[in-house]
Each structure stands twice: as C-alpha cells, then as structure tokens.
C-alpha cells in the first residue's frame, strides 16, 4: 500500500483496521451503518467517519474518491464489488477477506447470500486488478471458519 495514501475501511465495525492505518500515518475514511464504536476516534487527525447504509440500493457514497488502500473484512454485499474495484487508485491495493461457502458447518454466517462462491473474489477482480495473493481456506483462529482472502493491486498505466 502506498505510504501515507488514503485508506478506505469499509464496514469498519469497531475500527480495528481504521486504528491500524491511522497509527501508520494514513488518512482513513471509515464507513459503517453504525459508527458509534468509533466515538473515541471522533477527533482523530486524518479520520473521516461516514455513517452509511451500503445496502439501501443507493449509489456507493464515495463514487468519486480513489484510495491507496481499501480494506474489507467479514462483510459481503456483492453489488459493491464494481464500485470498490473502481475506487482503487493507481498502485493502490484492495484487501478483502470474508466468509465462503462451507462456513455454515461452523456457524454464522450461514445464509448463502453472505457466503462467497468458490473463486468468487478472484473473478470479481480478474482483468481489473493484479492479484498479489489469494487464499480459499479453513482457518482455526480466532474461530473455525471458511474464508476467502485476496490482495490485489491496480497497476500504474504508463503510455
């Protein structure tokens, strides 16, 4: 991730990644339906907190913005894939990890609408971003789960 570049923490929850990137000198846009867990960061320099319902059918709230890094964990709303990929700046990185099919044997989420199909993250970025790393696996910690993870970069186009 380009040093000091802006980071989008989408569906940020309690702000674990927001806090990490702020501590490393990145400006951060933290977006979630409920941002009350970020109250202690309200005055943090370099932080923009956006409360938004990402699934209300409206346009992506940051359509015109580009980010050096986009982090999404434990959240899946497929209609956002194109907007997120578009929001990755040249030389920027998308880091995405969420639950995949097979997770239902371990607990929530169980709903197929909230579970990635095999290779779905790969297909979402293929031809748009360069895949740096990808995993589709069962993890044991912090609790057993089936997840997919991807890290992909937007190449800098030179003419």
What digits encode the pLDDT tens for the residues 32-88?
999 999 999 989 999 999 999 999 988 899 999 999 999 999 999 999 999 999 999
From start to end of the chain, where are the E strands? 7-10, 28-32, 47-51, 67-73, 88-99, 130-139, 145-153
pLDDT band of 126, cuts 50, 70, 90: very high
Length of the chain: 159
- The answer to whether residue 43 sits within a structural domain is yes
Q: What CATH code is carried by the domain that includes residue 79?
A: 3.40.50.150
Q: What is the pTM of this model?
A: 0.94
Residue 38: burial class (beta carbons within 10 Å; 0-12, 13-18, 19+): buried
> What is the extent of the structural domain holding 38?
7-153
Whether 67 contacts 50, CB under 8 Å: no
């Amino acid at each position: 991730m380009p040093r000091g570049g802006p980071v989008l923490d989408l569906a940020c929850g309690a702000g674990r990644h927001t806090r990490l990137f702020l501590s490393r000198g990145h400006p951060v846009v933290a977006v979630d339906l409920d941002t009350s867990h970020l109250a202690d960061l309200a005055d943090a320099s370099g932080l923009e907190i956006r409360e938004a319902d990402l699934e209300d059918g409206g346009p992506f709230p940051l359509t015109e913005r580009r980010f050096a890094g986009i982090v999404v964990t434990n959240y899946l709303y497929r209609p956002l894939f194109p907007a997120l990929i578009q929001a990755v700046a040249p030389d920027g990185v998308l880091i995405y990890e969420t639950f995949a099919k097979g997770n239902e044997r371990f607990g929530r989420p169980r709903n197929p609408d909230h579970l990635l199909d095999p290779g779905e993250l790969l297909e979402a970025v293929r031809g748009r971003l360069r895949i740096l790393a990808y995993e589709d696996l069962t993890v044991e910690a912090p609790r057993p789960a089936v997840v997919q993870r991807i890290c992909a970069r937007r190449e800098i186009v030179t003419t």
